[in-house]
């Protein structure tokens, strides 16, 4: 892959983290439980916060609403207004031919009633670059267990540290995700 540098002469190779992507995600609480997506792979299970990348020109809350509808079948009008809790910067190398992007994770929180939870999706199909899909299981876990799960982005400790499901999240900027604290699987 090359990048046009706007100057005359040959294009220069793309460098890692030269592209910045924004990902919105939400911790959807129902009582003391939070919805996470579990993906089972040969290397083991891991969990993610429901959400996804913001499309070019898309508003953050529009992206969040689209992702919640796609992954959980949750209309945000059936939840409390999303509250931005944490921001986490990601600069991690990964396998593959394209340079890894830098990614900013914007993690929101909202609450739903049990009757809304009863109508939500129990599985999610994530599109893969090859056109296939990867199955994700929507799992409701007590939020205090989050720090003990292989959760991405790396917000488990911050989630478990909440004094209650609606407590102040504290400092919104979490330590960055780097090769020193995460290995791409």
In the chain, what are the domains?
32-178 (3.90.79.10)
Full-prediction pTM beyond 0.85?
yes
pLDDT value of residue 14? 63
pLDDT value of residue 3? 39
Cβ neighbours for 36, distance < 8 A, ≥ 6 positions apart: 47, 48, 49, 50, 138, 139, 140, 141, 146, 149, 151
Provide the pairing of β-strand 20-30 with 51-53. antiparallel
Stretch 105-134: mean pLDDT:
92
Tokens of 96: 């593959």
pLDDT value of residue 134? 85
Question: Mean pLDDT across the chain, nearest whole number?
Answer: 90
Residues 72, 123: Cα–Cα separation, whole Å: 8
Q: How confident is the model at residue 76 (pLDDT cuts 50, 70, 90)?
A: very high
Q: What is the DSSP letter of 82?
A: P
Residue 107: how many other CB atoms lie within 10 Å: 25
Residues 102, 110: Cα–Cα separation, whole Å: 26
């Amino acid at each position: 892959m090359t990048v046009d540098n706007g100057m005359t002469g040959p294009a220069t190779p793309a460098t890692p983290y030269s592209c910045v992507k924004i990902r919105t995600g939400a911790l959807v609480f129902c009582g003391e439980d939070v919805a996470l997506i579990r993906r089972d792979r040969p290397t083991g299970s891991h969990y993610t916060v429901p959400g996804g990348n913001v499309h070019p020109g898309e508003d953050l809350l529009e992206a969040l609403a689209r992702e919640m509808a796609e992954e959980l079948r949750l209309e945000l009008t059936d939840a409390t207004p999303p509250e931005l809790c944490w921001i986490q910067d990601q600069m991690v190398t990964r396998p593959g031919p394209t340079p890894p992007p830098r990614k900013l994770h914007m993690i929101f929180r909202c609450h739903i009633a049990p009757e809304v939870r009863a109508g939500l999706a129990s599985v999610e199909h994530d599109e893969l670059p090859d056109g296939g899909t990867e199955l994700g299981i929507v799992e409701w876990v007590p939020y205090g267990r989050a720090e003990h799960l292989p959760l991405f982005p790396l917000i488990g400790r911050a989630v478990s540290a909440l004094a209650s499901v609606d407590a102040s999240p504290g400092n919104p900027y979490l330590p960055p995700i780097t090769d020193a604290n995460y290995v791409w699987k």
